[in-house]
Every structure is written in C-alpha cells, then in structure tokens.
Amino acid sequence: MQRSPRAPELRPAGYAATGSAADNPAAGKLDIINGLRGAAILAVVWHHLFGIYFKPGSVLDSAPSGPHPLFFLSYGWVGVQLFFVLSGFVLYLPFARGRATLATGADWRQFYRRRAARLLPLYYLVALLCLVLNQVPPVHDQRLPLELLSIAGALFTFAPHGFEPHLNPPLWSLGVEIWFSILFPFVVLAFRHWGPVRTILAATALSWLSRGLGIMLSPEQPIMPLTRGLTANLEVFAIGMALAQAYVAGIRTRRPHLVTFGGAMLVALAVVADHVAPSWIKLPYIDIVALGFAAIIAGLLSLETGWLRAGFANRPIQVLGMMCFSLYVWHEPLLRHVFDAEAAPLDDLGRTLPLYLFLLLAVGALSYRFIEFGRTAHWRALFLLNPPPAPVAAPGKPMRRDANG
C-alpha cells in the first residue's frame, strides 16, 4: 500500500466541484462508486430475471442429480452486499473528510433530516402503491393496520415471517438501509472512540452471534432477520466506512489490478462455498463477500487510467448507478406484472424482456428525476449529459456543499 499525497476531489469525470446536491446531485460522487452501484443493480436485476434458470431442477439444468454447472449465475443477489459496503463508504465519506460532524444536537438532527429526505419519499410511494396493487390481506382484514405499521416503520426487517414483504420483497434491504441510517451516528462515534479495527471486530462478533442464533434456532429455515438483517450486516457497512477513511487518508494499493481480481476471486470463493458447504458457512460467508468487495473497491479507486477503470467509470454504467435507488425499488413490481420468470417460457423472452427493460428504464428515470431529485434545476446533470453551471456564492457567504453524499 502507498499513501497518495492528496485524495482527488469526489466528482464524476469532467465535472467541476460545484455547489450543493440540490443544485447538482452528481457533484461529490466518485465515478468508480457510481459505476460499482451500476454493476450492483445490474446483478440484482439479473438475479430476479434469470437467476431461477440456473438453480438445480430448472429448465436449463442439464445435471438434475447435482448442482447446475452455471450455478453461480443464480447469485446476482450478492449485489445487495455490494450496495451495503458502498452505503457505508458514501455515508462516512463527508465525516472522514471533516465536512460533516456530530458535534452538536443540530448536527444529529441535520443528518437524520437529510437521510430521511433521501430515502423515505420514494420508499413510501413505492410501498403504498405496491400495497394497493398487491393487496394481501384485504382492506377489511384486521391484519391490515399491522401491515401499515410495518411499512411505516420499516419494521418488516425484524419480522421472521415478513422479512421480505409480499408487496415488494426487495424492500427488505431498503429496510436494513433505513435502520442502519438510524444507527449510523452511533457507529461514527464508535469509530472515533475505538477506531475502525476494533469497531469492525465488535460489529463482526455481534453479526456472528446474530447469524449463529438464526441458524441454530431454525436449522431447516434460518431466521432471516437474524441471518440477513441489520444485525447480520453491521460489519459490512463498517467495512465500507473504513474504506472511506483509508481513501481520504490517501492510502492506495501499488498493485490495483491484482487487488481487484483478488477481491473478485474472494467473492467467487464465498459463492462456491455457500453453494456446496453446510449451513455453518453462513457464519463467515457475508464477511468473505464484504472483504472481497472491499478489495475490489480499493483496487479500482487506486487506478488512474486503463481498461479496468473505464469499465466502471463509463457514462452508461455510472448513470445506472446514479439511478440505482429508483431502479431497485421499481424492478420487482414491474417484474411481477410484466415479466414473470417463473412462468415465462424461454421462447417468450423476445416479447416480454424488451418491454420489461424499456419500462424499467423509463419508470426508473422518471422516478430518479422527479421523485429523488425533483427540486434539481439542472436535470441534464442527473444523467451526466453535461455539467451544470457553477453556482455563484453570495458576497460573504461560502457555497454550501453536500454533507451526506
């Protein structure tokens, strides 16, 4: 590892460091981070579109007595773990740079206000729309108020029988994100008082305890809030936070290609182990995947040029990454009503798949533009079409910067 004299400004290639996120939501973003988010959303969408075809017993399984030879293509859901690492990175980045603090109660309130404004409007809109479209139980059922309460507080992430809510199963990870955002300031304090290493070790111990209980209490069907929920992923977010601190400190690897491919191999090893090993592999599995993704991120952030960097810093993959929140919350409702992977025969893909992808991109783009960043004047910057004009600060008033990425 080597220490860079100065970490580069956090902005997409070709963009000036301009004002707040309200004026320019693309500002303050790393092109590599955008690209990795794009890769993560592609993996998740792939998983829900085609993952079922690569599981044992599927229509493509040529070896029904054993694992599918391409079983790893059913593991696109690991993109969610990449999202968690990147969330920790992005959330902690302004704190690592000293641009945000938790020194006063006002700082805490500002963080929670900004985080709620970022996550909750789109979450509530999609959840309520899906509740109407996929209404179970019916309106007159006494369980409906409990479901509304579960949605209002994202409490399903703690419920063994509702962890993946029927109205939109992928919302489980958004529930984890929401609750980690609530916990995040306390993790920041732990970083300051204990340091990253001890904080990650403590989070790992808690996560192993959570996963172990989830497996031990229900060996046949692990308890998902304990094996996949907030307590099972604390160190994943913390690893992302530690990466942000190392990045700001200017720490880079001397062999970025080797580190990147080594991280990819680590993720692949975890996938193979999860597929063939007994349930106890669930204990370290998430950690191995998170460390693999951390190595990939560290390697790519150390690259200045080259084909590997271009693969994650090009405009299309960046835009997908910037739209990932909208694409994530809308892809399952459209999947349910347009493209049913469990029912659609392979020879029907030519009709259903193009329609689904078109609708997903269209709805995702509109949601991204008008719901996520409805107050943004320079909409072209949202899609990296051209940089917005640099704002002019009023005399005697510095330009406000985005604090939370």
240-256, pLDDT tens digit by residue? 999 999 999 999 999 99
Q: At residue 143, what are phi and psi to the nearest 5 degrees? A: -80, -15
Confidence of residue 349 (pLDDT cuts 50, 70, 90): confident
Q: Distance between CA 257 and CA 255 in Å, rounded?
A: 6
Cβ atoms of 333 and 48 closer than 8 Å:
no
Rounded to the nearest 10 degrees, how much is the dihedral formed by the CA atoms of 32, 17, 107, 205?
10
Whether the per-residue pLDDT at 15 is higher than 50: the answer is no
| Residue position matching structure tokens 């991204």 | 368
| Residue position matching structure tokens 């040029």 | 305
What's the pLDDT score for residue 405? 47
Whether the per-residue pLDDT at 23 is higher than 50: the answer is no
Chain center to CA of 129: 22
Q: At residue 83, what are phi and psi to the nearest 5 degrees? A: -60, -40
What's the pLDDT score for residue 79? 97
205-236 residue pLDDT tens = 999 999 999 989 988 888 999 999 999 999 99
Confidence of residue 172 (pLDDT cuts 50, 70, 90): very high
* pLDDT (average), residues 171-177: 96
Task: Collect contacts of 284-291 with beta carbons under 8 A, ≥24 apart.
Answer: 284/208, 286/81, 286/207, 286/211, 286/232, 286/233, 286/236, 287/204, 287/207, 287/235, 287/236, 289/78, 289/81, 290/81, 290/84, 290/85, 290/235, 290/236, 290/239, 291/239, 291/263, 291/266
364-374 residue pLDDT tens = 999 999 999 99
Antiparallel, parallel or unpaired: β 251-252 and 2-3: antiparallel
The pTM of the full predicted model, rounded to 2 decimals, is 0.88
Whether the per-residue pLDDT at 118 is higher than 90: the answer is yes
Confidence of residue 404 (pLDDT cuts 50, 70, 90): very low
308-333 residue pLDDT tens = 999 999 999 999 999 999 999 999 99
Q: Distance between CA 219 and CA 217 in Å, rounded?
A: 6
What's the pLDDT score for residue 191? 97
More confident site: 277 or 197: 197
| Residue position matching structure tokens 């929670």 | 112
Confidence of residue 20 (pLDDT cuts 50, 70, 90): very low
